[in-house]
Structure 1
Amino acid sequence: MTSVHPYEKSIFYASEIFSVILFILFSGRKSNKKVKTSYQYKIKPNKEQAEKIDNTLEMLRYQYNYQLAQRFDWYEQNKCSIDRCSRGVCHLPELKNQPNYYSQKASLVQLKKHRPWYKNIHSQVLQEIPKKVEIAFDRWLKGDVNGKKSGRPRFKGKGQYKTFTYSQFNQAHFVNNQIKLSKIGDIKVIVHRQIPDGFEIKTVSVTKKADGYYISLSLDDKTVPTIKPDFNSNNIVGIDVGLIDFYVASDGAKVKAPKFLRKAERRLKSAQRQVSRRKNGSNRRKKAIIKLAKQHKKVADTRKDFHFKTANNLLKKYDVVAVEKLNVKGLAKSRLAKSVNDAGWSQFISILTVKAVNAGLKLIPVKASGTSQECSNCGTKVQKTLSQRTHDCPNCQVSLCRDLNASINIKNRGAHDLKAQIMSS
C-alpha cells in the first residue's frame, strides 16, 4: 500500500471541506431572481383570423412609422437651442416639446376617434408602439444601459413589422390546444410541450414568420429557484468555444462545429438567384422571397436545436460550467464574421445560462484575455498567432492543443471566481 504525503492529504481534506461549505451555503440559499423563460408554439389561424393578424401588423407598422417620424421632426427642429435671431429680423421656428412615451401613448385616444378602424386592435397591443419607438430612439441618441449606441432607427417597409404583444394575459385563455387572443378569436395551437407546473403566463407575442404564425409565451415561475441539493462544486468544466471545434472542454471532450450556414450556402444561393431574376412586385417574386425566407429559417432553427441539445448534454454531466466573456459583436465585424455568425456563440451562451439557472446549476463567465497565451501548467505567457494550433511551453515543456490549454485556464479561473462568490456571500 502506497503512502500518501501529508501535503497531498491536506489538499484532499481542504477540497472536501470546501465542498461541504458550498453545499451548506447553497442548499438552503435562494436566489433573488425568479425563473423566467419563454415557450414558442405554432398556431393555426383560419383564413379570417390570419387576415386580422395581417391587418393588425400593417396598422401597427403605419403607427410605428408615424410616431418615429414625430421623433425625427422634433430632433431636426431642435438640434440648436437658439430660438430667436439676435437682430430680431429673421424668424426662427419655436422649439417644440419633445415627444415621449407618455405623450405618444396619450395620442392613441385621438387616433381611435379619427381612425375608427384602429378600434379593432387591442389597447395593450397598440400601447406597445410608443414603447418600441422610445427604446429605438433612445438607443440611437443615448445608448443602452452600458452606453453603447445603436444606429439610426429605420422606418418599417411593407411586411417588415412582424410581431405584436399582449402585455397582460389571462391564464384561463390558454386551455388545451386553444388560445383566445382579444380582437382575433380562439386559435388552434400546436402544443408540442406542456407548460411546467408553477409557471405563469405573463405576456403573449404573436409573430408572423416565413412558414406561418407563432405565439411566444413569456413565463414566470412564482417559486424562487434554489441550487439543486446534490450540487458539487468540484464537478466543474471550462469550455473554449471556437470555429473549428464548436467547443473544447477542459477534460479533453470536443464538439465539432456543425457549420449549418456553410452547408446550406448552395441552396441559399439558388433561392437568392430566383428572387433576383423575378420581376419586382410580381407574384412569382413574392413566392421566391417566401422560399428564400424558409431556407434561412431552416438554418436558424437547426442551429438553435443544436445549441439546446449541446447545452443539455453539458449540464447533464457538470454542475458548474465556466465560459469566456467574449465580445461577439466585435468578432462579427472582423474577417471571420461569417463563421462567427454561423457558430452563434451568443445564442448558445444565453441558452446555457437560462438552462443552468432552471436546473439549479451554475454558469461562471470569466475574463477572456490571455486564456490562449497563458500556460495552464505553469502560468508562463507563451505568445502565439491564431494559426498556431499547438501550445508548446518553453518553461515546463508542456505540449498540448491550443484550445485545450485555453479551456483548462477557463476552468481554473471559473473555480477561482466561484470560491470568491461563496466567500463574499
Structure 2
Amino acid sequence: MITLNYTYRIYPDAEQVELLNEWLETCRGVYNYALRELKDWISSRKCPIDRCSLESEYIISVDRPFPGYQQQQNNLPKAKKNFPKLKTVPSQVLQTTIRRLHDAWDFFRNRGYGFPRFKKYGQMKSILFPQFKVNPLTGWQIKLPKLGEVQINLHRPIPDGFVVKQVRVVKKAVGWFAVISIQSNISIPDAVPHGHFIGVDVGLNSYLATSDGFVEPGRKFFKDMHRRLKVLQRRLSKKQRRDPAPPKGAPCSSARQKRSKNYEKARLKVERLHNHIAFKRKDYQYKLAHKLCDMAETIFLEDIDFRTMARGFLGKHTVDAGFGQFRDILYYVAKQRGVYVAEVDHRGTSQTCPNCRIEVRKELSDRWHSCPECKYHLDRDIASAQEICNRGYEQLSTQGLWGKEIGCQVGLSGAFSLDKWRRAAMSNSDVGSLHHNL
C-alpha cells in the first residue's frame, strides 16, 4: 500500500473564507479547552501528599481518570449542547483537533520535551477532513462537508488506482491550499543498490558536492531577502496592536477586533515574505533532488543530526539552508524514481583521505585536501563526498573483504575504477606519489 500527498491551490469565495476562519477559531478554542483540562489534571497530581502549595492548588477528585483522547472525544456531543457554535463545524474536524492535541502529548511523553502549548489568536492554520465516502473531486472543484464546492487548481491529476482518503485545508498568507492524501493498494518495491554510485556532502560554503566533482554553489534564501524583511518588520513594530478604546459614553461593542486593521495588513506582508522564502527554498531543493537522481542510481548521504548543527554559531545559516528538509525531499524523489538512497556514518568524513584512508586533520578554514602520504590533492568538499561514497561501498559490501574484487565493487563501480580499490588495499610505499585530477 502506498500513500501520497498532493498539494493544490484552492479559491474559496468570500462566504467560504469567512466560514473557514470561524472554523479555525472554533477549533482553536476546542484545542485550548482540552489542553486546559489536561494541564489541570496534571497540576492536581503534582503536589506532594503531605503538604500543599503556597500559591494555588488544583483540587480534582482522585477517582477522576486522565482526560485521554477517548474521553475528550466523547465529551464533544455534550459540549455542543452548551456551546451551539460547535455544531457549525463538522464533527470529524473537531475530533481530529482533539487527536492533534494528544499526538503532541504523546510526542512529549516519548521524547521528554515539547509540551503542548496554548494557541494564540490566528495560530490555528489548518483543519483536517479525515474521511470521504465518495471522491470529493469533481472536475475543477472539491466538495467539502458543510462548506460546499470550492474551486481548485487541479494542475496534477490524481493517478489511476488511487482514492482520496483525507483532505487538509491550510491557510497561508498567500492564499488557501488543500493537501489531498491519496492511497492505493499497489506496492512499489524498495530500490536496491544499482548503477552509478555517488556520495553527497552538504555544507554552507557550497550547498553540496558530489564524489564525481559536481559542486552546487551555496544558496542563502533568507539572507537574500533579509533586507526587505527588516523593513517590513520595522513597520510592523510601529503599528498599533489593538484598536483604540471607544470614547467615554460610546457603546462598547463586544465584537471588538483582536487587532487593528493597519497592524493586520503589516503582519500579512511579513507573513507573505516568509511564505515566499519558504516556497523558493522548497522549489530549489526539489529541482536539486531531481538533478542528483539524474546523476546516479545510488546516492549516499551523511547521517548528521542537523538540529545539533543549528545550535552552533552558524545556526542561522544552517536553518536557512534547510538540510533536513532537503534530505526528506531527496528520499521522496528517489523513491518515486527508483533511486537507492542510504546514510553512512558522518564522523571524520572530512578528516580522512578518500584515496589512502589515513587521517588528515584539517581546520574549518582549510578548504583544500592535501594528503601527505599519497599526495592526493583536491577540494575538501569533494574529498569528503568521495569518502562518503567509500563508506557506502563498505556498508553494502561484505565486511572484512575490503580491497577484494567482489561483485558490488566490480560491477557497480560507478565513478571509481577497480584500480583505485586495488590501490586502497596496498601499502603506502607501494602506492607511491599519485596525483589525481578530476
User: Smaller-chain TM-score range?
Assistant: 0.7 to 0.9
1:263 maps to 2:224: yes
- 190, 212, 223: which one aligns with 2:186: 223
TM-score by length of 1: 0.84
- In terms of fraction of residues, the more helix-rich structure is 1
- In the TM superposition, what is the alpha-carbon distance from 1:83 to its structure 2 partner? 8.1
Distance across 2 between alignment mates of 1:169 and 1:360: 31
1:333-352 equivalences in 2 (<5 Å): 333-352=311-330
Preserved contact between residue 225 and residue 360 of structure 1 (Cα < 8 Å): no
Distance across 2 between alignment mates of 1:45 and 1:382: 60
Residue 310 of structure 1 is matched in structure 2 by 288
Residue 386 of structure 1 is matched in structure 2 by 364
- 22, 45, 49: which one aligns with 2:12: 45
Distance across 2 between alignment mates of 1:374 and 1:314: 24
1:125 maps to 2:93: yes
Percentage of pairs with the same residue: 36
- Indicate the SS of the match to 1:400: strand
- 29, 35, 40: which one aligns with 2:2: 35
- In the TM superposition, what is the alpha-carbon distance from 1:418 to its structure 2 partner? 3.4
- 122, 138, 145: which one aligns with 2:106: 138
- 238, 242, 248: which one aligns with 2:203: 242
Residue by residue over 1:267-311, the C-alpha shift from the partner in whole angstroms, topping out at 9 and shown as x without a partner, is 111111110111112211110000110011000000000011011
Preserved contact between residue 240 and residue 407 of structure 1 (Cα < 8 Å): yes
- Indicate the SS of the match to 1:172: coil
Preserved contact between residue 44 and residue 187 of structure 1 (Cα < 8 Å): yes
- The 1:68–1:365 alpha-carbon spacing in structure 2 relative to 1, beyond 3 Å, is same
- 210, 215, 240: which one aligns with 1:254: 215
- 163, 166, 179: which one aligns with 1:200: 163
Residue 19 of structure 1 is matched in structure 2 by none
Which residue identity lines up with residue 124 of structure 1 in the other structure?
Q
Residue 404 of structure 2 is matched in structure 1 by none
- 36, 61, 70: which one aligns with 2:37: 70
Residue 290 of structure 1 is matched in structure 2 by 268
Which residue identity lines up with residue 63 of structure 1 in the other structure?
V
Preserved contact between residue 112 and residue 118 of structure 1 (Cα < 8 Å): yes
Which residue identity lines up with residue 273 of structure 2 in the other structure?
Q
Runs of at least 5 residues in structure 1 that lack an aligned partner in the other structure: 1-33, 86-90
Preserved contact between residue 41 and residue 60 of structure 2 (Cα < 8 Å): no
- 56, 62, 65: which one aligns with 2:23: 56
Preserved contact between residue 195 and residue 296 of structure 2 (Cα < 8 Å): no
- In the TM superposition, what is the alpha-carbon distance from 1:200 to its structure 2 partner? 2.5
Distance across 2 between alignment mates of 1:293 and 1:300: 11
Which residue identity lines up with residue 184 of structure 2 in the other structure?
D
Q: CA RMSD in A?
A: 2.2
Preserved contact between residue 300 and residue 389 of structure 2 (Cα < 8 Å): yes
More displaced, 62-71 or 350-359? 350-359
Residue 154 of structure 1 is matched in structure 2 by 117
- In the TM superposition, what is the alpha-carbon distance from 1:356 to its structure 2 partner? 1.1
- Indicate the SS of the match to 1:183: coil
Distance across 1 between alignment mates of 2:38 and 2:328: 33
- Indicate the SS of the match to 1:394: coil
Residue by residue over 1:67-113, the C-alpha shift from the partner in whole angstroms, topping out at 9 and shown as x without a partner, is 0011110111112573899xxxxx97643421111111111111122
Preserved contact between residue 83 and residue 92 of structure 1 (Cα < 8 Å): no
Preserved contact between residue 167 and residue 204 of structure 1 (Cα < 8 Å): yes
Residue 129 of structure 2 is matched in structure 1 by 166
Residue 17 of structure 1 is matched in structure 2 by none
1:403 maps to 2:371: no
Runs of at least 5 residues in structure 2 that lack an aligned partner in the other structure: 53-57, 243-259, 400-406, 409-438
Distance across 2 between alignment mates of 1:322 and 1:93: 55
More displaced, 390-399 or 57-66? 390-399
Distance across 2 between alignment mates of 1:156 and 1:395: 60
Preserved contact between residue 10 and residue 177 of structure 2 (Cα < 8 Å): yes
- In the TM superposition, what is the alpha-carbon distance from 1:393 to its structure 2 partner? 1.6
- The 1:399–1:103 alpha-carbon spacing in structure 2 relative to 1, beyond 3 Å, is same
Residue by residue over 1:306-338, the C-alpha shift from the partner in whole angstroms, topping out at 9 and shown as x without a partner, is 011011111122111111111111111111111
Which residue identity lines up with residue 317 of structure 1 in the other structure?
M
- The 1:413–1:201 alpha-carbon spacing in structure 2 relative to 1, beyond 3 Å, is farther
Preserved contact between residue 35 and residue 357 of structure 1 (Cα < 8 Å): no
- In the TM superposition, what is the alpha-carbon distance from 1:351 to its structure 2 partner? 0.8
- 182, 194, 202: which one aligns with 1:233: 194
Residue by residue over 1:2-37, the C-alpha shift from the partner in whole angstroms, topping out at 9 and shown as x without a partner, is xxxxxxxxxxxxxxxxxxxxxxxxxxxxxxxx4332
Preserved contact between residue 371 and residue 409 of structure 1 (Cα < 8 Å): yes
Residue 273 of structure 1 is matched in structure 2 by 234
Distance across 1 between alignment mates of 2:328 and 2:299: 13
Residue 15 of structure 1 is matched in structure 2 by none
- In the TM superposition, what is the alpha-carbon distance from 1:232 to its structure 2 partner? 6.9
Distance across 2 between alignment mates of 1:81 and 1:139: 26
- Indicate the SS of the match to 2:225: helix
Residue by residue over 1:186-216, the C-alpha shift from the partner in whole angstroms, topping out at 9 and shown as x without a partner, is 0000122222233322211001110111110
Distance across 1 between alignment mates of 2:345 and 2:134: 42
Distance across 2 between alignment mates of 1:344 and 1:190: 28
- The 1:93–1:68 alpha-carbon spacing in structure 2 relative to 1, beyond 3 Å, is closer
Preserved contact between residue 8 and residue 155 of structure 2 (Cα < 8 Å): yes
- Indicate the SS of the match to 2:152: strand
- The 1:71–1:192 alpha-carbon spacing in structure 2 relative to 1, beyond 3 Å, is same
- The 1:166–1:72 alpha-carbon spacing in structure 2 relative to 1, beyond 3 Å, is same
Residue 369 of structure 1 is matched in structure 2 by 347
